[in-house]
Amino acid sequence: MKHTSNEESDRAILEGPTGSQWHVKLCKTEKGTFLQDGWQDFFKFLLIPIKAVIIVEKEHSGTVKPVFIYETGIEAVAEKRIKREDIPMLIPSDSESQEKTITEDKDAAESFSSIHPYFKIQMAHVHVILSFVLHTPREFSKKYLPSADAKIILRNPSGNCFTVNFINRKGRHYFAGGWRAFVREAQLKKGDICVFKLKAMVKSAISSPFRSPPHFFKVVIPNVTTQHLVLSHSLSLKCVFSFDLKQSDLFDFCIISSKKLTLHVALTWVYRTEKGTFLQDGWQDFVRYYSLWNNEFLVFRYDGNMHFNVVILHKSGCEREYAFPSEKRLVGRLSRKRDGSAEISTARACQSYSGIEAVAEKRIKREDIPMLIPSDSESQENMTIEDKDAKLKMSAESFTSIHPYFKTELARKKMTQMKVYRGFMLHLPREFSKKYLPSTNAEIILRNPSGKYFTVNFRNNKGNRHYFSGGWSAFVRENKLSKGSICIFELVGKSEFSVHIFPVAHRN
């Protein structure tokens, strides 16, 4: 250990992934400083595999914190770690699994309470016969269950465990694969009340399934790592990235910054192919800028919002040191939000400081989220998102036509992204539909700005509610409509709309 000094104590504290602490002895010899007494226990307890890579972070308090533990095949270990401890909700250990309690006594079921999070569901036809899908309450799912598809273990009163697929997609949360087997084994029937109790969760997992930001490492291999970077193949990393990557249709980039040099930002474009997800354009800039050497270690910490923080370790295993000038402000800072939007806050305090920054700035300026903000003039490059938004809205506001039309701003009121994608329907203004649209269910043609036609089902529900349903989802996806987008539906024929889309510039 390179950074220990003589004044420091000869004791250190190791903190494991679950927060459990282990006291070890620091032995300083001519050959270096070692972790000794207590290390073996720590090693055994965590079942650290041979060839694992342990990256040690020393805290200011003097404690030593081995925060990252990976095998050479990082995904396997990362998954193992998560399985056992980090995500007890997803794949808990035997003693800490989610327990399902079944009771045939309705009173008992109703009076059931627990210090653990739980929800009750009375089995319906659809749960135990028809579809064998169990929808989990939205609030519970959002609060306690994984934010992406995951495996969940259900343990029945007999103690038998069943793995079911928990699907969290498009605002729907449900148990699918494996649920059928559970139903059969437990002989569940319509009317049974089940209480699903989440047992023995790790505290921090309540607010987040991941105790700490996920990490992974890559070794620099000439002509492989230096050309592009394969992001994720592992289950665990997929869990982590899936949401962001799914949502990044409009924003296929991420930010790479070095721990030592957070002032330097590389915008890297993300490519998703059948072979995996890659970081490509911009990645080479990062490699060049930091002059990465063969066999150096790059430890990535995923901070969310498509932001990776990278620590570069020399072949010796120690962190690289730099002698850079004092901090500068970012030339361009861009962050993605979970709903797929992004924001750019431009700071023009300094000029390009490195090739990377130049690239970053160039990217932001040149492409500036082209799908969202039409760049019809150079002056737009200097506009803030707010300005662009305002301009966009003005354009939409100023729309006029000889044909009947109505405007709708997705998510203008309480409508969320979820409504756009999950509900698969668009409610229409009552007055408009009463006046111009059929009084019964009908098929309506929507034509997008590029002239492509879509058929959607128009529903006139008891003359009360009017909305687009079947086919609307396809229109939404095809035209990449998102929260905040403004659409103007211009009735150009008896059952035909020309749709003008004003995609909004995203931020929070």
Partner DNA sequence: AATCGGGGCAGCAAGTCGAC
Partner DNA sequence: GTCGACTTGCTGCCCCGATT
- Whole-angstrom Cα distance, residue 324 to residue 310? 17
Q: Which CB sits closer to DNA, 260 or 337?
A: 337
Q: Which CB sits closer to DNA, 166 or 217?
A: 166
| Residue 171 binding DNA, by CB under 7 A | yes
| Residue 156 binding DNA, by CB under 7 A | no
| Residue 130 binding DNA, by CB under 7 A | yes
**Helix (DSSP H) and strand (DSSP E) numbers for the chain:** 14, 28
Calculate the CA 354 to chain-centre distance: 30
* Listed residue (194, 216, 212) closest to 202, CA to CA: 212
Q: Which CB sits closer to DNA, 173 or 500?
A: 173
Contact 71, 51 (CB under 8 A): yes
| Residue 62 binding DNA, by CB under 7 A | no
Q: Which CB sits closer to DNA, 151 or 362?
A: 151
Site string for DNA, 181-210 (x = CB under 7 A): x-----------------------------
Q: How many CB atoms lie within 10 A of CB 127?
A: 23
| CB-count burial class (<10 Å; 0-12, 13-18, 19+) for 125 | exposed
Nearest-approach distance from CB 424 to DNA, in angstroms: 3
| Residue 109 binding DNA, by CB under 7 A | no
Residue span binding DNA (CB under 7 A) among the ranges 25-33, 44-52, 218-226, 410-418: 410-418
At residue 504, the 3 state secondary structure works out as: coil
| Residue 147 binding DNA, by CB under 7 A | no
As a whole number of Å, the end-to-end CA separation of the chain is 43
Nearest-approach distance from CB 499 to DNA, in angstroms: 17
Q: Which CB sits closer to DNA, 180 or 480?
A: 180
Residue span binding DNA (CB under 7 A) among the ranges 2-10, 52-60, 179-187, 283-291: 179-187
| Residue 177 binding DNA, by CB under 7 A | yes
Torsion region of 471: left, alpha or beta (phi above 0 gives left; psi -120 to 50 gives alpha): left
Provide the greatest CA pair distance for the chain.
90
Interacting positions 66-95 with DNA (CB under 7 A): none
| Residue 121 binding DNA, by CB under 7 A | yes
| Residue 125 binding DNA, by CB under 7 A | yes
| Residue 118 binding DNA, by CB under 7 A | no
Nearest-approach distance from CB 142 to DNA, in angstroms: 8
Nearest-approach distance from CB 352 to DNA, in angstroms: 43
| Residue 297 binding DNA, by CB under 7 A | no
Tokens of 177: 């694969």
Q: Which of 474, 492, 499, 501 lies at the binding interface for DNA (CB under 7 A)?
A: 474
Backbone angles phi, psi at 182, to 5 degrees: -65, -45
**Length in residues, the chain:** 508
Calculate the CA 295 to chain-centre distance: 30
Tokens of 109: 């079921």
Tokens of 277: 């997800």
Q: Which residues contact 308 (CB under 8 A, 6 or more apart)?
A: 254, 255, 256, 257, 300, 301, 302
| Residue 424 binding DNA, by CB under 7 A | yes
Q: Using alpha carbons, list the distances in angstroms from residue 439 to 202, 427, 470, 492, 493.
A: 55, 15, 18, 18, 16
| Residue 169 binding DNA, by CB under 7 A | yes
Interacting positions 438-467 with DNA (CB under 7 A): 457, 459, 461-462, 464-465
Contact 147, 87 (CB under 8 A): no
Nearest-approach distance from CB 295 to DNA, in angstroms: 38
| Residue 126 binding DNA, by CB under 7 A | yes
Which three-class secondary structure string do you get for 145-179? Answer: CCCCCEEEEEECCCCCEEEEEEEEECCEEEECCCH
| Residue 120 binding DNA, by CB under 7 A | no
| Residue 152 binding DNA, by CB under 7 A | no
What is the binding site for DNA (CB under 7 A)? Answer: 121, 124-127, 130-133, 135, 137-139, 165, 167, 169-174, 176-181, 412-416, 418-419, 423-425, 427, 429-430, 457, 459, 461-462, 464-465, 469-474
